[in-house]
Amino acid sequence: MQKFSNNATTSLTADITGAATSITVADSSAFATLAAGDDELVTIESGGAREILSVTARAGDTWTVARAREGTIAQAWSAGALVEARLTAETLGGMTSLISLMAYNAPGGAAIGVDAVSMQPSRTSATRVASGVASIAIGKSAQCSGEYSVSLGSGAECSGDYSIAFGVGVVAAGGYCIAFGTGSSADEISAIAIGTGSSASGAASTAIGKNAIASNSSSIAIGDSSSSESDSGIAAGVESLVESEGSVCIGKLTWSSDAAAFSTCVGIDAYSEAPSGVAVGNYAYANAQSAVALGHDSTAAGESSIAIGRNAVTTTDHVAHIAALQCHVKPSNLVAPESSARAWRTATLSAPVVTLMSESISLASTASTVDLVIPPNTRFFVDTVGIIIDTSGSPIGTPQISITNVLTAEDVTATALWSRQLWKDRDSAGLAGTISITVPTALTSGTLTARVYLTGLSVQV
């Protein structure tokens, strides 16, 4: 390591030849102490002649030297020649290898940091550490080629214009982008990656959190290991995952599959596997198009069906299941003084009114059958049965329908399109499992189809 002295001066006490590698001086006290591997540059001068030597060891006033340094010539010197520690070109070169401001050698840019200078003078403007107009590179091996951009950190690289790369090994390759955190990368225009290992590779994408990934246009991933892999998708939560366009997943382990475009999942492990599905609640699951599952462990598996409440389940299209729920009501005869807290009463609605509606069934064939499925752990008490005619074409005859444990061969007299027929006060026992709707007697001719619905109380058991 090169050593330095302030205002150190002495003189030779004996003549030396041009080949001598040991010299003796009058006084060494003002010069630097040298350990193994150290050296100090000194200059011998007499009568206008000069030679620069490198002192590699000292034993008292006897020095071991290397001659003719920095282009000077080794020559004989007489006793009394001046010996001084002076600032030399090699000394300045060694200092600038540690810290330098080389804006003058890098047009339009500045580089600050270990190894920055040694990479500057010998390189072209295309490969200098800070080569972009008004760019700044700070840190070992930092590079900045984007205009008006900043690279800060060991190995930081900024090639996009008006961008910022901050951290160890950070890459900001897109214009107007920001990469912040060890190993983070923002690779497209207006992308933002914040957090260790975060990656924003879609245009206008945002990844925030350790190992967060936003890989498509306008996608957003927020949270440790969150991932948004579709255009305009939003994944917020630890290990949340969006694979479908326009979907939103909020909560740990939430997920919308690649078949579930424009889905919404909120809650721990809530997920959707069908377009426009909605799953809200821990472990809620939407598995059919436009299905809605709302509540802890709820499942909506029928198209456009709605399951509301803890463990609520729908498996048939266009039906709703409301599980037992708690609500707060304020009785009309309860008046709280202004000075006291409001008084509220909690009521439990354990048997909400539910309507189950079937798919359309043909009344022109005795082979027709349609099933209604009662959700698991539920008893359904039927109050009213009705049919709505949804197709009518010159029907002749009086068809009949039967419903398991509810109706037995009842005549259907409604035949006009969108007309309705009711059977009230059925008073059936609680139904469970699958309810079958059949046609024991069919039309004589023509067409007639209807949707059958049951209204009653749904009770969890």
The pLDDT value recorded for residue 97 is 54
Distance CA 29, CA 307 (A): 92
Half-sphere exposure in the Cβ direction for 243 (13 Å, CA): 14
d(CA 210, CA 222): 9
Check whether 338 has a pLDDT greater than 60. no
Contact between 335 and 321 (Cβ < 8 Å): no
Mean pLDDT of 121-128: 46
**Rounded (10°) CA dihedral 436, 440, 446, 451:** -20
Q: Residue 309: what pLDDT?
A: 85
Say if residue 54 is exposed, middle or buried (CB neighbours under 10 Å; 0-12, 13-18, 19+): middle
Cα atoms in the 13 Å half-sphere on the side-chain side of 231: 1
142 CB contacts (<8 Å, ≥6 apart)? 111, 113, 116, 129, 151, 152, 153, 154, 155, 156, 157
Average of per-residue pLDDT across 322-340 = 42
Q: What is the pLDDT of residue 140?
A: 83
Q: Edge to edge, what strands does the sheet with 40-46 contain?
A: 9-11, 82-84, 40-46, 49-59, 62-69, 22-24
Is residue 453 pLDDT above 70, yes or no?
A: yes
| Average of per-residue pLDDT across 262-270 | 94
The pLDDT tens digits for 155-175 are: 899 999 999 999 999 999 989
CA distance 365 to 31: 115
Per-residue three-class SS string for 353-367: EEEEEEEEEECCCCC
| Weakest-pLDDT range from 14-23, 234-243, 375-384, 385-394 | 375-384
Mean pLDDT of the chain: 85
* Listed ranges 71-75, 100-104, 319-323; the one with the highest mean pLDDT: 71-75
Question: How much is the pLDDT for 49?
Answer: 95
The pLDDT, as a whole number, for residue 194 is 95
pLDDT higher than 60, residue 44: yes
Contacts of 95 (CB under 8 A, 6+ apart): none
SS3 sequence, 11-26?
EECCCECCCCCEEEEC
Question: 192 pLDDT exceeds 70?
Answer: yes
Residues β-bridged to residue 371: 436
Comparing 123 with 260, the larger pLDDT belongs to: 260
Model confidence at 126: pLDDT above 50: no
pLDDT at 322 over 60: yes
How would residue 95 be classed by pLDDT, with cut points 50, 70 and 90?
Answer: low
Is residue 246 within 8 Å of 232, Cβ to Cβ? yes
Q: For residue 310, what are the β-bridge partners? A: none
**Of 329 and 63, more confident:** 63
